[in-house]
Amino acid sequence: MVGRALFVCENALNTNKQGLQYKLVKAFLLQIALISIATALAVFAAAKIVEDVLIRKALQGEATHFWSLYRQNPEFPKPNTLNLKGYLAVNNNTTVLPDELRSLKPGYFRTAFNGRQPIVYVEDNGNARLYLIFDEEQVSTLAFYFGIVPLSGVLILIYLFAWLSYKQTKKAISPVIKLAEIVEHFDFKNHSFAELDLGEIRKASDSDVAKLIDALDHFTDRLQLFIEREQNFTRDASHELRTPLAVIKCALGLLQKRTDYQPNEQQSLLMIDKTLVDMAGLIETLLLLAREEFSPMPEEPVLINDLIVNLVEQTQRTLGNHKVSIVIDQHGLLYVPAAEKVLTILFTNLLRNAFRYTPSGLISIRIDKYQVSLSDTGIGMEQHQLEKVFDPFYRANTDGSGYGLGLTIVKRLCNQFGWTLTIRSKLGEGTSISVVFPKASPTGKAQQTENSSTE
């Protein structure tokens, strides 16, 4: 719990790619992109409107005006200006037309003419056909200078204002970003919360950021007090819990020396002794986990092969199940850099769990490269039980044995030290648990399988 609390501040203001600065840049770029797309669409729409509507209407108006004058005077000259040129074919006489126009039908379209692609409007009136050719090159040049250039200037101003808005916004939230960076890079493991200096940001920040800093200060103060209380509890509990257990164990040892007990009384003493061993192991494990979060234990290469052989013997003597056989399959030597006490707790819980849920049958342990697997032929679990097996105080078997913390402790140790834990189980067939040690050093050749059974 304390280990997770140590990183609350760091995770709360983490400036990864989802942080404030990233979102601000993303919003600015999105704004620029939307403005550019909207402008491009507007220019394209305006061009299409000019070409398909305005120019068409203008040419139709020119044709109407020409026909009105042509009816009054058949010799009226055809349109001939810088941008507009007209041709007239009477009684289907196309010899007066350029070659490019002779095959055209009435309508409005673009066509190749004198090496260009002008707009052509063809209209019939009686026995005459009028060809109006509009070359919008000059108009386009004027449109560029009087339309596109001012529009580009407006766009540049919009981009400039958006950039200034971005800079002002960034300046406004820069204390928050700086605060997030300080918290992100602060070493909570090796320094106390009192060493988290936020005075410089507090002086340069506005009232809202100052409130955030004050809230963070209050939170860290409370968290520091909580950690100190748990440290004191860990130190005191280490003595207060072990002492009465040692007294009970000594008294139980004296009682076990007597030989005048009835069978049921002897069995009760054995149950007390077994429960005492479990309680002592559980208390030692919880205290070690609590201490480890404040002062990591020194690591050294531990030979897993020897450790597991010793733990199997101890577990057999403690639990005394005469119907279970043990097979240790060693494929080389496996050294794991860790505190031996941590590995002892890890494998002791796995072995006790296997013995507890295997009334009779086989427990096999396989030591491979980077991995130790432990399989049993016990009662197994269903899928819904398997999903809850790492929950504290959950027991797949409700016979009352155990505390429901063994696999929870194993999972917590694996998470804390970066080991990978996998579990598979099937009801009535048994359970298989594997622990992968990524930093392990496998050496040696495969050894013979070691078989042992309880006696």
Q: Average pLDDT per run of 10 along the chain, which is 455 residues long?
A: 41 49 77 80 70 80 90 88 88 87 88 85 92 77 63 79 78 68 66 63 64 74 75 67 78 79 77 75 68 62 91 79 83 89 88 86 91 91 84 66 73 88 91 92 59 44
Residue 131 in any domain: the answer is yes
Q: What is the reported pLDDT for 356? A: 84
- In contact, 131 and 124? CB cutoff 8 Å: no
Q: Which of 135, 162, 178 is the last residue of a domain?
A: 135
Question: What token pair was written down for 24?
Answer: 């601000």
Task: Answer yes or no: is 400 within a domain.
Answer: yes
The predicted pLDDT at position 32 comes to 81
The confidence score (pLDDT) of residue 422 equals 93
- Total domains in the fold of the chain: 2
Crossing angle of helices 207-240 and 263-292, rounded to 10°: 150
Is 381 a domain residue? yes
Closest CA to 256 of 282, 278, 274: 274
273 within a domain of the structure (yes/no): no
Q: Domain range holding 358?
A: 298-453
Three-state SS at 324: strand
Q: Indicate whether 395 belongs to any domain.
A: yes
- What residues have CB less than 8 Å from 384, skipping those under 6 apart? none
Q: Kindly state whether residue 151 falls inside one of the protein's structural domains.
A: no
Q: Assign residue 382 the CATH number of its domain.
A: 3.30.565.10
Residue 202 has a pLDDT of: 64
pLDDT at 122: 93
